[in-house]
Amino acid sequence: MMLSQTEENYLKAIYSLAYANSNNVSTTLISEAIKTKASSVTDMIQKLAEKDLVHYKKYQGVSLTEIGQKIAVEIVRKHRLWEVFLLNKLDYNWDEVHELAEQLEHIKSETLIDKLEAFLEFPTHDPHGDPIPDKEGNIKHHNDTMLSSVETGKSCIVIGIKDSSDPFLKFLDKLQIQLGNTLKVISKEPFDNSMLVETTIGSISISNQISKNIFVKNL
């Protein structure tokens, strides 16, 4: 099945919205994600339903079919592998890779992404810490320990982030917090749930809004 970039983007959007919302995805939600009007979304999901990529009943929202889900995961796989390439090989920063990967994920080839994966030595996670689906579409989701729930005095390793927005990525860059870094929680402030954390560049105060968006592995 040969899909257009646009169709692929719709599937990808529905995939991540479904993951975040669990039930059927609404027209409006998709239109916001894809920055288009609701009426355009209706047109497109009817077309996708026609191709058996989504389940759709009028006014009831959509969900991905098995095939639709498979394709969406393939795109996610491509996106994340390209992100690794851009960061590890081309010296891009954490916050710069997303936009480019949005383009590269649509390159059509039977072999390219597997060769890229081998070249990158089979990374398991992308620069944001999100897992990279394997060739068969299997995904290993990491456990949901957030920095905010690490106990005082304990150390942990940064394995991912929840919020991938530009401002957040830029903020982490400034704090020099990167994947793999070890962080030690020195103290917590009950008043606002901020914490004092020892990082590679010294001790810094981190607000709860930040700490609850950083995935960590306890040591």
Partner DNA sequence: ATTTATTTTTAGACTTATCTAAATTATTTT
Partner DNA sequence: AAAATAATTTAGATAAGTCTAAAAATAAAT
User: Which of its own copies, DNA, none does residue 44 bind (CB under 5 to 8 Å by kind)?
Assistant: DNA
Binding mask 47-86 for DNA (x = CB under 7 A): x--------x-xxxx-------------------------
Regarding 35 and contact with its own copies (CB under 8 A), the answer is: no
Regarding 40 and contact with DNA (CB under 7 A), the answer is: yes
Q: CB of 94: closest distance to its own copies in angstroms? A: 15
**Torsion over CA of 63, 65, 69 and 75, rounded to 10 degrees?**
-90
Regarding 146 and contact with its own copies (CB under 8 A), the answer is: no
Regarding 44 and contact with DNA (CB under 7 A), the answer is: yes
The torsion region of residue 48 among left (phi > 0), alpha (psi -120 to 50) and beta comes to: alpha
> Tokens 């975040």 label which residue?
20
Regarding 112 and contact with its own copies (CB under 8 A), the answer is: yes
Regarding 89 and contact with its own copies (CB under 8 A), the answer is: yes
Regarding 104 and contact with its own copies (CB under 8 A), the answer is: yes
List the structure tokens of 139: 């995904």
Regarding 3 and contact with its own copies (CB under 8 A), the answer is: no
Regarding 108 and contact with its own copies (CB under 8 A), the answer is: yes
The torsion region of residue 22 among left (phi > 0), alpha (psi -120 to 50) and beta comes to: left
Nearer to DNA, 47 or 184 (CB): 47
**Cα→Cα distances 146→79, 157, 209, 212, 218, Å:** 24, 10, 11, 5, 10
DSSP 43: H
The distance of Cα 62 from the centroid of its chain, to the nearest Å, equals 21
Nearer to its own copies, 19 or 119 (CB): 119
- The whole-angstrom separation of Cα 11 and Cα 28 is 15
- The whole-angstrom separation of Cα 121 and Cα 171 is 29
Name residue 57's amino acid.
Answer: K
The contact set with its own copies (CB under 8 A) reads 89-92, 100, 103-104, 107-109, 111-112, 115-116, 119
Binding residues (CB under 7 A) for DNA: these are: 4-7, 26-29, 34, 36-47, 56, 58-61
